[in-house]
Amino acid sequence: MATSEFPTQKEGSEAFLQETTVVVFVLGGPGSGKGTQCPKIVEHFGFRHLCAGDLLQAEIDSGSENGTMIQNFKKEGKIVPSEITVKLLQQAMQQSDNKRFIIDGFPRNEENRAAFENIVRIKPEFVLFFDCPEEELTKRILNRKQGRVDDNIETIGKRLKVYFESTLPVINYYNSKGKVQKIDAQRSIEEVFEDVKSAFAKLKPVARVGINEIM
């Protein structure tokens, strides 16, 4: 049977991909500087930048059945199920030649975290946490000139409430595992990136193993 002809090879290949894939979660409140620092990480360290929000929007724009379902969730103000988001991330990772990823703004909550570990079966090397007080985050969001309709005091307050209630427990979970690299995000872009570079410098080099060696 075609589906089970090479089970050992398939399992070995999946194990190989899990072993050689490097994942770093990038977390922090809205306005903490993730969007500024991620392109610098890509340029300096050669990681592939994945953003769950961008992948969801791309799926909507594709006009697929999945995209329509995602759009309906958003229209109704509902959170897209973790399984859908995780599978889009997994697909992007599988299709990439680069096996070093920074995943921006994910996991947003404990359900996201559990779904990623259960489906993708890869644990992050570490979590890059841009730590910034609520007052500073509010000030930054109000000052940025992006013209976003949700950049007003009321909606900013709601977004920050969701972040502190849902995402901080994820950060605390990984901190209990010794996997959080905490960055003081109140400083200048250059000062923050110096600390980011120190965090990434601790990563072990990726082993380059030929696919034939795992069969």
53 is in an annotated binding site: no
3-class DSSP state of 33: coil
How many CB atoms within 10 Å of residue 58? 14
121 is in an annotated binding site: no
108 is in an annotated binding site: yes
H/E stretch holding 13 reads helix 7-20
113 is in an annotated binding site: no
3 is in an annotated binding site: no
172 is in an annotated binding site: no
106 is in an annotated binding site: yes
100 is in an annotated binding site: no
3-class DSSP state of 127: strand
118 is in an annotated binding site: no
The neighbouring-strand residues paired with 182 are 129
3-class DSSP state of 27: strand
46 is in an annotated binding site: no
Does residue 180 contact residue 127 with C-beta atoms inside 8 Å?
Answer: yes
Distance CA 212, CA 208 (A): 12
Binding annotation for a ribonucleoside 5'-phosphate: 78-80, 105-108, 148, 159
Binding annotation for ATP: 31-36, 144, 187
Binding annotation for CMP: 112
Binding annotation: 31-36, 78-80, 105-108, 112, 144, 148, 159, 187
